[in-house]
Every structure is written in C-alpha cells, then in structure tokens.
Amino acid sequence: MYGLVNKAIEQMVRSNHGAAVWSRIKAAADVDVEGFISNRPYPDELTYRLVAAASEALDAPAEEILKAFGEHWVLHTALESYGPMMRATGKTLREFLLRLPHLHTRVELIYPDLRPPQFSCHEVSDSGLDLHYWTTRPPGLEPFVEGLIFGLGKMFSTPVRVELIQHRENGSDHSVFRVSWEAAA
C-alpha cells in the first residue's frame, strides 16, 4: 500500500503511545524504514506485519488495532490532509456513503498505482443502508472498514451502528456491512 497508510499507522501509535513504543513495534515487525514516503508504494505485507506487531506490543487483538486505525484514518489523515475531497464527498453520513463508491476514483488521480477497495450501496433508507465491500487484498480488513464507518459517523456527528452481515471468509467474494443511524426528525 502507499506509504501514507503506514505513515498514518506510525502517527496513530506515536501520538497514543509514544516514540519508544513505535520503535519497538517497527523492530518487532522487522521494518527498517526511517520515515515512510506517502506517494511510494510499499508491499502490503509490511503493513500487515506492522498491525500484527502493534497487536502484540499493545496487547490488543489485531481487529481492535484495525478499528482504531479506521477511525484515526478518517478523523486525522483524511480530514487533515484531504479535507476538501472529504467534504465534497457528502454533507451527511448517508450522502457520503452513497458517494463512497466513487471516492477512490478521485484518489487515483493522486496515487495512480492505487489498488482501491470497491463499494456499493443497497437497501438504502433514511436510517441506513447495506454497504458492500470488495478488496483484492488478503482477508482481515473488515474491522478497518468498520472503524472507517465509525470515524465517518463522528465526522458527521451521527452515532452509527455497524453489523457485519456477510463475511467473504464464508465463501462469498465480498463482505457486507449493515449500517444504521437515527433518521433525522
């Protein structure tokens, strides 16, 4: 994945746990990179190793690290570095999710070798929708998507519930999240 993903993991760990913990995680993951370069692709495997080492060092399941990282990605990386693109995507959580399938098409203009996730929205109502998610990557990123959705809920001050109703590990080619919120009065 592009360096900005690893950079965001580094930023999250450093701000929550300090530089020494980050150094330990990097050493345990056998990652010898001093400062990730945002627009340079790194092997996916390196990112998975960092998550596994963080899980070990922080004594938390990898799913929890990925969820926290999803929230951090929206509320810090995306909003701080790509605020205009994020805000242009939607004025409400519902509008944002409906346009999410097109967001990475714009991101590809900045990062041409992107291997973006694919999304589509179904069963749309005023208080929720089913978000379908495809990835070309190894299994296990669902908690990351869940964290991203929680982050979006916070971005729009809309408390959100997320339920994984179909998991690609169970024979399907993609996962489905049932996302719901209080309909505006």
Residues forming contacts to ligand HEM in the complex (CB under 6 A) are 1-2, 4-5, 74, 78, 82, 85-86, 100, 103-104, 107, 111, 114-115, 117, 135-137, 141, 144-145, 148
In the bound state with ligand HEM, the residue whose beta carbon lies nearer, of 59 and 169, is: 169
Shortest spacing between CB 59 and ligand HEM, in angstroms: 25
Nearest alpha-carbon partner for 119 in 95, 106, 100: 100
Instruction: Please answer whether residues 70 and 141 qualify as being in contact, where contact means their C-beta atoms are separated by less than 8 angstroms.
Output: no
In the bound state with ligand HEM, the residue whose beta carbon lies nearer, of 2 and 22, is: 2
In the bound state with ligand HEM, the residue whose beta carbon lies nearer, of 13 and 100, is: 100
Shortest spacing between CB 37 and ligand HEM, in angstroms: 12
Strand order in the sheet with 160-166: 118-125, 128-134, 175-181, 160-166
Shortest spacing between CB 30 and ligand HEM, in angstroms: 21
Rounded CA separation 108/150 (Å)? 24
In the bound state with ligand HEM, the residue whose beta carbon lies nearer, of 1 and 21, is: 1
How many other C-beta atoms lie within 10 A of the C-beta of residue 68? 21
Rounded CA separation 157/56 (Å)? 32
